[in-house]
Amino acid sequence: MKIPEDYFERVYSGWLGKVIGIRLGAPIEGWTYETIRNVFGELDGYPASYRNFAADDDSNGPLFFVRALEDCADLAKFDASDVANALLNYAPFEHGFFWWGGYGVSTEHTAYLNLRSGIPAPRSGSVEQNGAAVAEQIGGQIFIDPWGLVAPGDPELAAKLAAKAASVTHGGNGVYGGVFIACCISLAFVERDIRTVVEKALAFIPADCEYARVARAVMDFHDRRPENWRDCFQFVHDHFGYDKYPGNCHIIPNAGVIILSLLYGGGDFSRTLNICNMCGWDTDCNVGNTGCILGVFVGPEGIDYNKYRAPINDFLAASSVVGSLNITDLPFGASYFAKMAYRLAGEEIPQPWREILENRIDSCHFEYPGSTHAIRGRAPGGFQIRNTDEQARSGTRSLKITVLHGAPGAESYFYRQTYYGPEDFDDSRYDPFFSPLVYPGQTVHMSVLLDPEKNGEGVCAQPYVKLGISGEILRGEKTHAAGGWQELSFTVPAGLSDRVQETGFILSTDGKGFSGGPLTVYLDDLYTDGAPDYRVDFSKETMAFWHNLHQDVHQFARLKGLTYLADGWLHLSCGDFGEMYTGRHDWTDYAFTGTLCPATGEDCFLNIRVQGAMRSYAAGFSGGKLVLEKNLYGYRTLCAVDFAREPGRAYTLTVAAHGSELTVSVDGKTLLTWNDAEAPIRTGAMGVSVRAGTHCLYRDLSVVGETPAK
């Protein structure tokens, strides 16, 4: 089936609806209907406000499992094993990402350890392996949304993809639920009646399964008594409640709530999601799935901006092991799903979307209606930010920024936050950690329209970056108002040992032709390019303290191991293995240098081109040798040389990658060279790792990249 003409705005509103639903349900997850009613009366919007909403399993899974489509070797042979690889690659080891409730208790934890132990997918999540009480928990449907978003109007494809994805961690009704939700999302792109969406989606699961039974029972009840959803919920509670099914958070009771809300909500976004939330049980999961279906169904115009969209501001935090992918916005997710959808369909992406999806997918382009890309502001006179089609530097839309009460000499800051820490959140939901999006040596670009006729000739814009450790603001050249769009850029000084916290522009006026009142500017095409030239000074760094059980080193995502800072050194130790990463996932050619000093053991490494837990190169000391290894779903040695390491001595190691060529140097002397001609890893971040009980100290980390040829 051909991709619908309005696909881009609907894939965005579907992902937006998913995130809205998660945020609606998260504060009351696990509550009963009675408790919600007694505390809130009637829910109509978010039960709680957040400084920023921290990571959540219901968005982690969808964002990273779907990357299996891009990561698999052959899309034509895409299978459950590819989704299993994505799970192993992007999830930290038994912390963050999703609920690690224990083997035989949490479905995802059980399947993860099965995969780690060599039990392949789909056996890893099956009833035969894990029993129905584990295999039929709710996770089979809560992570499934993208498989419907990448198959718009093609429920058969959505069903096939969802079945493969859900089977990695689930079995039986756990898989059927995933198939049903994905088909509902797919059908919502093309069907204009929500009952038809539900009816057609049920055709893709066995008619005699328990999931179909609860769905039909709720539909029959709605047909007989369509006036009161509370009566239907009582019916679901009495006949399909938690007491009827084994294990923790079974899928069937929650399936009843989802279908109930879809039918009684009548296609209205707000009513549907609030009914779903009022029912209780696994609220963030149920309202998240329902929000995605309804988001696609109603489109952006069907979602109240001030009530639901403004508090989110397009921002989304995640908690994978790839820190630069954990600071994201909703347009990035929608664009990634769209890129995969066109790849699956074999269709050419239309402009301007082709340029965005292929060349600047993580830029701030504002092409989705209402999108803000999480742009933030500080203005003494107050401000308003809104997406608009009034002006555009490229495409058809931009961001309209209004300072409500401008004053001569006052400065207002508008920016993309490029690094986050515990102080930016109210809690540590699913233990996020982040790596900066922008680094010293790189150049920040943006386009602004200052409109001197409205604001006066004295209004000006100045690009800037704010550093995260020192708090210093570095300013570029000030640009005064002129007719038409103006291009601003600022290169972050190379060699700095400070995190880039913000990138944006400063709006001000010197008073010429300015009569007071509001100032209006348009922003478009905010992006960063160039190679990093960055130093990590651990004497300046601190631990990111989220709570007593979540403390990690700032800017590093941790796969596994014990890590802390002391006396200007980074410490990493393990019982079996430990790894942690920083930098951007899309770096290409660069040299990574660090000083290593093992305290115990001798297996310590620098990692380069890290794409996650299962894909990277590692260079370091092991077994009396200097080794270069490749991790492609398991480490193997590419080359090695004898090296008599002196106990207690620190060595400076450099590992560099240029194309498929890799070199390893110790104290400035090149000792290993390798051309990885077989499936080379082309991009990735940097990291440090230890094995076999080693405790290693690291300092003087630096990365120097090569600027790609134009």
User: CA 556 to CA 546: how far, in whole Å?
Assistant: 14
- Per the CATH hierarchy, to which homologous superfamily does domain 7-317 belong? ADP-ribosylation/Crystallin J1 (1.10.4080.10)
User: CA 92 to CA 428: how far, in whole Å?
Assistant: 15
Q: Which residues of the chain have a pLDDT value below 70? A: 511-516, 708-710
Same fold, 7-317 and 535-705: no
Q: What is the pLDDT of residue 90?
A: 98
Q: For the chain, how big is the Rg over CA atoms in Å?
A: 26
Nearest to residue 153, comparing CAs of 297, 368, 366, 287?
A: 297
Burial 562-574 (b: 16+ CB within 10 A, else e): ebeeeeebbbbbb
Q: What is the pLDDT of residue 141?
A: 97
| Domain edges within the chain | 7-317, 376-530, 535-705
Q: What is the pLDDT of residue 482?
A: 86
What pTM did the predictor assign? 0.97
Q: What is the pLDDT of residue 58?
A: 97
User: What size, in residues, is the chain?
Assistant: 710
- At 191-218, the pLDDT tens digits run 999 999 999 999 999 999 999 999 999 9
Q: What is the pLDDT of residue 475?
A: 98
3-state secondary structure 63-79: HHHCCHHHHCCCHHHCC
Q: What is the pLDDT of residue 710?
A: 47
Q: Which CATH class is domain 376-530?
A: mainly beta
How does the average pLDDT of the chain come out, rounded? 96
User: CA 684 to CA 611: how far, in whole Å?
Assistant: 5
Q: What is the pLDDT of residue 468?
A: 97
Q: What is the pLDDT of residue 514?
A: 60
Single-letter code of the amino acid located at 684 = G
**Rounded to 5°, angle at Cα 514 from 512 and 519:** 125
From the options 3.30.390.50, 3.40.190.80, 3.40.50.300, 2.60.120.560, give the CATH code of 535-705.
2.60.120.560
